[in-house]
Amino acid sequence: MHSIKDKRGYIIDMDGVIYHGNRLLDGAKEFVQWLHDHDKQFLFLTNSSERSPRELQEKLERMGLYVTEDHFYTSALATASFLASQKPNGSAYVIGEPGLVKALYDVGFTMNDVNPDYVVVGETRSYNYNHMEKAVQLVSKGALLIGTNPDLTGPTETGIAPACRALIAPIELATFRKAYFVGKPNPLMMRQAQKRLGTDVSSTVIIGDRMDTDIIAGIESEIETVLVLSGVSNEHTPNLFPYRPDHILNGVGSIPL
């Protein structure tokens, strides 16, 4: 196993790794500067579907990190890419934020609340009973149910909030249908990320704060894994899972040292 510093490609989770809410984490700025200085290939990979790459780029810029848009890959982009490959120029009823809607428009999908090919659910704060009822009706009539990611919860500055899998669960229960989830740990998203990086498995590492998404995604894609303890995990968390990360670090600031 090579040193983390020797890798060519870095797949990096964002929330809990680079920032927490609107607060930059210790060592993140130095780590990103090190990636630039050493001409590393890197991609910020997030299961969040709310923001577009441009919005994520602007968020990091506000925190003092300067990274171009092409360094971001979201579950919204992965979902759009998957659906475009399944049904080119299809249509969807979307429960989600503008980042998800834009990703679908960009691959040629149209929005449709009458007879869509898909019902697509991502994180959104505007979720309500009317959305749920409409989705149940459309799925019952034959629309296929897609979730941008399988996260049950997500971190906020005040605690945890229900995430995509929690929002989609009532639709699954009411229709007796199972959703297909595109985001991590689905190896599909990992392979799409690796293609964007242009690196092979042996020269790539994934860095994340969650055992159940980031670390298992790396293991199932045969990519070396780094668990950082700056997000939802602590030193005892790996003991709760039947698999282990290759490395455990306090934060990304440890990597360039």
Residue 210 CA to chain centroid, in angstroms?
Answer: 11
pLDDT surpassing 90 at residue 155: no
Element at 46 (helix H, strand E): strand 41-46
To the nearest whole number, what is the mean pLDDT of the chain? 95
In terms of DSSP H, where are the helices of 13-163? 28-37, 53-62, 75-86, 98-106, 129-140
Is 200 a catalytic site residue?
no
pLDDT computed for residue 159 by the predictor: 74
Q: Between 160 and 29, name the one with better pLDDT.
A: 29
3-state secondary structure of 8: coil
Catalytic residue among 13, 151, 212, 214: 13
pLDDT surpassing 80 at residue 210: yes
Please choose, from the candidates 118, 116, 225, the residue with its C-alpha nearest in 3D space to the C-alpha of residue 182: 118
Sheet with strand 247-249: strands edge to edge:
72-74, 41-46, 9-12, 204-208, 224-228, 247-249
Domains assigned to the chain: 4-47+184-254 (3.40.50.1000), 76-181 (3.40.50.1000)
pLDDT computed for residue 1 by the predictor: 47
Tokens of 76: 């919204």
CB atoms within 10 A of CB 164: 29
- Say what the pTM is: 0.93
Write the burial class of residue 229 (CB in 10 Å: 0-12 exposed, 13-18 middle, 19+ buried). Answer: middle
- What DSSP string describes 198-247? T--GGGEEEEES-IIIIIHHHHHTT-EEEEETTSS--TTGGGGSSS--SE
User: 108: number of CA atoms within 13 Å, CB side?
Assistant: 10
**223-251 pLDDT tens trace:** 999 999 999 899 999 999 999 999 999 99
**82-135 pLDDT tens trace:** 999 999 999 999 999 999 999 999 999 999 999 999 999 999 999 999 999 999
Is 15 a catalytic site residue?
yes
Query: What is the mean pLDDT of the segment spanning 208-219?
Result: 95
- Going by the DSSP 8-state scheme, the letter that residue 230 receives in this structure is T
**37-71 pLDDT tens trace:** 999 999 999 999 999 999 999 999 999 999 999 99
Strands 23-24 and 144-147: unpaired
Distance CA 208, CA 161 (A): 19
pLDDT computed for residue 21 by the predictor: 83
Percent of the chain predicted with pLDDT > 90: 92
In terms of DSSP H, where are the helices of 107-163? 129-140
pLDDT surpassing 90 at residue 2: no
CB atoms within 10 A of CB 65: 18
